[in-house]
Copies of this chain bind each other. A is one copy, B any other.
Amino acid sequence: MAEALRIGVAGLGTVGASVVRVIAEKQAELARQCGREIVVTAVSARDTSRDRGIDLFRTAWFADPAELAANAEIDVFVELIGGDDGPARASVKAGLEAGRHVVTANKALLAKHGVALAEIAERKGVLLNYEAAVAGGIPVIKTMREALAGNTVNRVFGILNGTCNYILTRMEAEGISFDEVLKDAQRLGYAEADPTFDIEGQDTAHKLSILTSLAFGTRIAADDIYLEGISNITQADIRAAAELGYRIKLLGVAQRTESGIEQRVHPTMVPTASVIAQVHGVTNAVAIETDILGELLLSGPGAGGNATASAVVGDIADIAKSRPGFQHGPVFGRPAKELKPYKQAKMRSHEGGYFIRLTVHDRVGVFAAVAKRMADSQISLESIVQHASDLGDAALKTVILVTHETTEAAVRKAVDGITKDGHLADKPQVIRIERAD
């Protein structure tokens, strides 16, 4: 048997502790699968005294993760510190420059510095694996980077944030408001004390930007992503969606269009009978549409110590199975130097169906005015429903429009016009509809 693969782990939070424990517990089985032992020989964490329920007795401790990363006594540096700069970036860079393979779960780091880090890894001939950075334990990186070679991706979309999906699932199941569910989610540990990063879609955007690069061979451009969170989704939206045969999910979507690549994160109506609509709670899912294969869907646990550790250990095992002299494929599917600049499609040119919910004053001519604005924008309607307003005011009505395929620009123009007409008693709600099998 080959010599043991020596692992240095920086960051011993929930995920780090899980990684150390899984490697220890599955030592014999991993050796059987990889043809060599995998051993955590060194760690770095701020708190050296906390009991993490793992045996670190014979493990070397490093105060500085960058020093651990560059240490010649390890073969693989595992970065689980988090953050898009600071010690995470410094240590990953130091590790790669020193010729260590690196495994990271850090989506923020990759979204910001992924291409630069990939260039170092490819220059040094080492692996930079990051399965855990997107959709937790779901092997979407491996699938896109390896299994789909030969396929041209047309669209990739998914439920990439467990907190948002948990909130939307409970809002639908229990009929309670966003604020109520959020508070409960915070109490139960499914949402952070400051939930902005999750509920406003930034976390989804980071993950989507990585998938976009893998899908389309472009440089990572997380800042160019159109972003809408779920905090303004109401029970009225969820009920109207259900009546129309849809369910609301926060999706990240990247697709090839004539005017460039669309990257967008927003609440989305998906058909209730689609597979992705059945993805409940903290579960994540990714759908990939390609020219050769067609549509592939992967769903599973998107977060949590063990699910993330599963992906990290899978990445380490891939390195353990490789041997000196081996060159794996490039970090983002294509050589980092050849990744093309990201050409952003304007959100205004997005084409699709739209759900529009209006709260209007119950007056003669309102309906005609709304219809005229839609017609003026060349928007053809699939359905129109009018009923009593949810706001409990008899002088108000709710009008729900579902459009056929149209453009974002046309919808914005029509809704702006309706707003100017002065018939609205509340902010108009616009939710995009996404085709899904």
Contact with B along A327-338 (1 / 0, CB 8 A): 111100111001
Chain B residues with CB below 8 A from A151, complex form: 310
- Knowing A33-B330, A326-B322 are in contact, say whether A292-B149 is a contact too (CB < 8 A): no
Measured CB to CB, the closest approach of chain B to A218, in angstroms, equals: 13
Contacts of A278 in B (CB 8 A): 273-275, 277-278
Contact present for B147 and A311 (CB under 8 Å)? yes
A143–B150 touching, CB < 8 Å: no
Band of interface residues on A: 35 or more
Does A212 reach chain B (CB closer than 8 Å)? no
Whether the Cβ atoms of A300 and B306 lie closer than 8 Å is no
A329: nearest residue on chain B (CB-CB)? B321
Q: Are A314 and B33 in contact (CB under 8 A)?
A: no
21 pairs across A/B with beta carbons < 8 Å?
A: A26-B150, A26-B152, A32-B217, A32-B338, A33-B333, A35-B327, A35-B330, A131-B147, A137-B294, A142-B146, A146-B321, A149-B314, A149-B318, A292-B310, A296-B301, A317-B329, A321-B327, A323-B325, A323-B327, A325-B325, A326-B326
- Indicate whether A30 reaches chain B with its CB closer than 8 angstroms: yes
A169 shortest CB reach to chain B, Å = 12
Q: How far is the CA of A318 from the CA of B150 in the complex (A)?
A: 11
User: In the complex the two chains form, is A314's CB within 8 Å of B148's CB?
Assistant: yes
Q: Which of A251-274 contact B (CB under 8 A)?
A: 273-274
A309 interfacial contact with B, CB 8 Å: yes
Q: Does A29 contact B (CB under 8 A)?
A: yes
Complex contact B293–A146 (CB within 8 A): no
Interface assignment of A168: CB less than 8 Å from any CB of chain B? no
Do residues B293 and A306 form an inter-chain contact, with CB atoms below 8 A? Answer: yes
Q: Give 10 A-B pairs besides A146-B317, A146-B318 with Cβ atoms closer than 8 angstroms.
A: A26-B150, A35-B335, A139-B142, A139-B143, A150-B310, A297-B299, A321-B328, A321-B329, A323-B327, A325-B325
Asked if A23 lies at the interface with its beta carbon under 8 angstroms from chain B, I say yes
Closest 3 CB pairs of A and B: A149-B317, A150-B313, A139-B147
Whether, in the assembled complex, A290 has its beta carbon less than 8 Å from a beta carbon of chain B, the answer is yes
Given A273-B278, A274-B278, A297-B299, does the pair A150, B325 have CB atoms closer than 8 Å? no
Q: How far is the CA of A148 from the CA of B30 in the complex (A)?
A: 10
Residues of chain B lying within 8 A (CB to CB) of residue A301: 293-296
